[in-house]
Structure 1
């Protein structure tokens, strides 16, 4: 499993050169905690459970919220796709749609000026 995660981190290093910190669950404590900073140059922050029972963990809510946003899209609510590239494309489309929605809400009303192109 650690070899698979290491390959994911190396691919992420190539895809996201500006990445500085990665948050992870306690399950990723171990060799990755030492190798990720050495190989990728990132800080690997392990989010620890401090109490028994349910408690919102720091930064974990960001991931859960993003999964909830993605799950609102019908095609992403279940794993329908056989090809992982199709699923990845659907995630991109979903997040683009979400960002466009935020941008549209951020504009003050009446700021859109329709132009006649004819």
Structure 2
């Protein structure tokens, strides 16, 4: 909702999905997630071994690809190719999540 900041929402999502995030070693975020409280919250939830990396923008006013940002952008581009995901018409959030999983599974099957 609009009353929850992105940082608090991310921490809540990590708490909710903690069991399936056991092998996470690093969390890559943008500059909206800076600050020691967020990093410490991630470590409290996922473990002290997890590092939080902030992808920082270039100080120059020239175009430069941000480090590792392309991984996230590429994944969203792949999802955009699935017409079923363009509009969220599902009644339950879990159903939408399963369609995202199916889209990535179809991508992996095409590549193998």
TM-score (norm 2): 0.80
Aligned to 1:99: 108
> Does residue 25 of structure 1 match 2:36?
no
Total equivalences in the alignment: 103
> Could you tell me how far 1:76 is from its partner in structure 2?
1.0
- Show CA shifts across 1:51-86 (max 9, x none): 335321111110110011011010112333342112
Contact persistence 2:21–2:46 (CA under 8 A): no
Report which structure shows greater RCO (CA 8 Å, sep ≥6). 2
Q: Structure 2 stretches of 5 or more lacking a match?
A: none
How many Å apart are 1:34 and its aligned residue?
2.9
The answer to whether residue 41 in structure 2 is matched with residue 35 in structure 1 is yes
Q: CA deviation at 1:96?
A: 0.9
Q: Is the 8 A contact 1:13 1:19 kept in 2?
A: no
Query: What 5-or-longer segments of structure 1 have no aligned partner?
Result: 104-118
Tell whether 2:62 aligns with 1:57: no
**CA distance 1:33–1:53, shift in 2 (3 Å):** farther
**Tell me, what secondary structure is at the counterpart of 2:17?**
helix
Select the structure of larger CA radius of gyration: 1
SS state of the match for residue 81, structure 1? Answer: coil
| Root mean square deviation of aligned Cα | 1.7
The match for 1:79 is 88
- Under a length normalisation based on structure 1, what TM-score does the superposition of the two structures give? 0.77
